[in-house]
Amino acid sequence: METVRLTTAQALIKFLNQQYVQIDGEEFPFVEGIFNIFGHGNVLGFGQALEQDPGHLKIIQGKNEQGMAHAAIAYSKQMLRKKIYAITTSSGPGSANLVTAAGTALANNIPVLLLPADTYATRQPDPVLQQVEQEHSTAITTNDALKPLSRYWDRITRPEQLMSSLIRAFEVMTDPAKAGPATVCISQDVEGEAFDYDVKFFEKRVHYIDRKLPTERELNGATELIKASKKPLIVVGGGVKYSEARESLMEFSKRYNIPLVETQAGKSAVESSFVNNLGGLGITGTQAANKAAIQADLIIGIGTRFTDFATSSKTLFNFETTKFLNINVSRMQAYKLDAFPVVADARTTLEALIPMLEGYTSEFGDLITELKEEWLIERDRLSKVTFNRENFDPEIKNHFSQEKLNEYADALNTELAQTTALLAINDTIDPDSIIICAAGSLPGDLQRLWHSEVPNTYHLEYGYSCMGYEVSGTLGLKLADPTKEVYTIVGDGSFLMLHSEFITAIQYNKKINVLLFDNSGYGCINNLQMDSGNGSFNCEFRTDDNQIMNIDYAKVAEGYGAKAYRANTVEELKAALEDAKNQDRSTLIEMKVLPKTMTDGYDGSWWNLGFPEVSNQEGVQKTYELKQQKLKNAKQY
Ligand SMILES: Cc1ncc(C[n+]2csc(CCOP(=O)(O)OP(=O)(O)O)c2C)c(N)n1
Ligand SMILES: O=C1C[C@@H](O)[C@H](O)[C@@H](O)C1=O
Ligand SMILES: [Mg+2]
């Protein structure tokens, strides 16, 4: 057997360079690069291996392990899971910082390779700096915290274990039904230990991402269900994007007059202006989509996980009569809601179904166009919301008095409404720009209001809805599509939570644009608590003496080296957006927006939450009673 003597870290880097994927006949390297923050746990093993021979891997120095992993996740999601970045971290706190990011990748089914350093395999120097000790087991390390959040997890304590471990990791990451984070922890002493590796291990390896075909039985069952339905409705999930099923979906929808509605992950699979696209569904859905859902007698879920946000906590549909047909590569997802499951690739299934439905047409008739037109009027209204100091009626009603809204207008020196600002942005930035968001009130506004006219330009992480993904993820977008303008749409709370990779973007001259909506508080949570009958408790950003905080984020961005703007009117905002397009460096536009000016829920929007059963507040009791009412018609599982 021909062998080559390498350290474990050198072998790993050599292997990463040889992994390819083949999709629809096209072949390319799977691992684009590696993010790193070096500490004593990885600088010697990984650091040496990367310095000696990185191969084609791009090497990016991150600023926060969670942040750089979020950048890698956004990269992979934007690349439709066809390419990844790996992440190397030190042990202890460096790897603990990956926990949140692993959860984000897992919830969203995004492949990413996490390579945290681990404790010494020999245990000779134990306990080392940053090693935690448990009395009942010496085998537990910080990295065990990543187990429940990884789709594949392994610990390497001997150099030769690397071979079988990496093959498993890549098999998992390149399987459309299982794709998610693979975590391979490597003992820090083992990173530098040598082994005579079989050269075959380093030969070019192609992972074939094949399209799983539906069976005849599945196609016949699906055809029967659709033909028996008067008002079928398509729920477009993220799987539609990953399957690149846009054209077949539009053909299917148009030919049989079946409306489609979008989940956060599915939005921009098909452009918003498509005649049958009724927009976002569920808790943060449009009036049009939710009205269609209430009437539908068959829900065709394509590549969707049917989260609570899509189904309004399983209250949106008429579960007594409505049937479900799920097309999904994952059996687990296809089984949901007692659906007829078609466990197959979305595009292939739609292509097969189109000819089988010849002669069919839904009974939606002109209703689709009518619903769409009605919604566009509402959207237009929301683009023109203007504040006044006497009798302003915000979207989120009966929370803050006029006096309190005036206090915000004075403290933040603004009269700008969130929906007005958001739609001005939608009108001004180039349609092929990519936007990203994850948490707060903005995901709801975006799902309802944002018009995406170029496919795959709307990037929402709403599986984990992890604050801090927004700015970090924007760097991932720029790495995925360097020719496009990329914009993060982020609340002040999320910006404060984590924006370390803003500096990485500036450092590597990857231009990103941060659009910061500052309402001085955790706005959506404040809405939630007040909607549920509570007071405004600890969600506004106020000082000890009750003053609304006014933070100069533009100055912070300037300090980092970004071009910064302050825009508190639509005119200032549009001017800043135009100027930002002409900049070579990263930008931040700070907008002070009034609280309570985000969108509210429409028909069919209800969220099952932990409303208290006992309370001395009348409003709280009412929301609990409403929950009992709602659950009477909800599907129980
Ligand atoms: C890491 C993380 N921690 C906590 C939450 C819960 N959470 C969701 S939205 C939110 C507040 C967001 O505030 P901001 O970004 O200012 O947006 P706004 O709602 O004000 O528009 C919080 C705390 C979360 N989603 N992610
Ligand atoms: O708790 C939450 C409430 C949602 O409105 C928000 O978008 C999300 O980020 C969240 O975590
Ligand atoms: Mg806020």
Annotated binding site: 65, 492, 519
Which residue is listed with tokens 């500052």?
Answer: 518
Per-residue pLDDT, averaged over 120-146, amounts to 97
- d(C-alpha 394, C-alpha 253), whole Å: 37
CB 285 less than 6 A from any atom of ligand 2: no
Residue pair 55/454 in contact (Cβ under 8 Å)? The answer is no
Q: Where are the alpha helices (DSSP H) in 1-98?
A: 8-16, 45-52, 65-78, 93-96
CB 443 less than 6 A from any atom of ligand 2: yes
- d(C-alpha 498, C-alpha 64), whole Å: 9
Cα(312) to centroid of ligand 2, in Å? 14
Cα(122) to centroid of ligand 2, in Å? 45
Spell out the residues 6+ positions from residue 502 whose beta carbon is closer than 8 angstroms to its own: 471, 475, 512, 514, 557, 560, 562, 586, 588
Q: Provide φ and ψ at 590, rounded to 5°.
A: -90, 125
128-136's contacts with Cβ under 8 Å and 24+ in sequence apart are 129/40, 129/92, 130/41, 130/90, 130/91, 130/92, 130/93, 131/91, 131/92, 132/92
Helix 287-295 to helix 367-382 angle (10° resolution) is 150
Q: Give the closest residue (by CA) to ligand 1 atom 5.
A: 467
CA-CA-CA-CA torsion for 279, 282, 288, 294, nearest 10 degrees? 140
Confidence of residue 238 (pLDDT cuts 50, 70, 90): very high
Per-residue pLDDT, averaged over 419-445, amounts to 98
CB 503 less than 6 A from any atom of ligand 2: no
Q: Give the pLDDT confidence of 472-520 residue by residue, as tens digits.
A: 999 999 999 999 999 999 999 999 999 999 999 999 999 999 999 999 9
Confidence of residue 3 (pLDDT cuts 50, 70, 90): very high
Pick the atom of ligand 1 nearest to 464's CA: 25
Residues flanking ion ligand 3, Cβ below 5 Å: 491-493, 519, 523
Q: Where are the alpha helices (DSSP H) in 228-277?
A: 238-242, 246-255
Q: Provide φ and ψ at 68, rounded to 5°.
A: -70, -35
pLDDT of 488: 98
**Tokens (6 digits) for 68:** 């750089």
Annotated binding site for thiamine diphosphate: 65
Sort residue 240 into left (φ over 0), alpha (ψ -120 to 50) or beta.
Answer: alpha
The three-state secondary structure class of 88 is strand
pLDDT of 440: 98
CB 491 less than 6 A from any atom of ligand 2: no
Alpha-carbon distances, residue 46 vs 96, 316, 504 (angstroms)? 18, 51, 20
Torsion 116-121-122-128 (CA) sign = positive
- d(C-alpha 413, C-alpha 154), whole Å: 53
Per-residue pLDDT, averaged over 148-154, amounts to 98
ipTM higher than threshold 0.90: yes
Q: Give the pLDDT confidence of 80-127 residue by residue, as tens digits.
A: 999 999 999 999 999 999 999 999 999 999 999 999 999 999 999 999
Cα(372) to centroid of ligand 1, in Å? 31
Residue pair 435/450 in contact (Cβ under 8 Å)? The answer is yes
CB 523 less than 6 A from any atom of ligand 1: yes
CB 439 less than 6 A from any atom of ligand 2: yes
Other CB atoms within a 10 A radius of the CB of residue 553 amount to 22
Largest CA distance in the chain: 85
Pick the atom of ligand 1 nearest to 490's CA: 15
Pick the atom of ligand 2 nearest to 467's CA: 9
CB 539 less than 6 A from any atom of ligand 2: no
CB 573 less than 6 A from any atom of ligand 1: no
Confidence of residue 57 (pLDDT cuts 50, 70, 90): very high
pLDDT of 243: 98
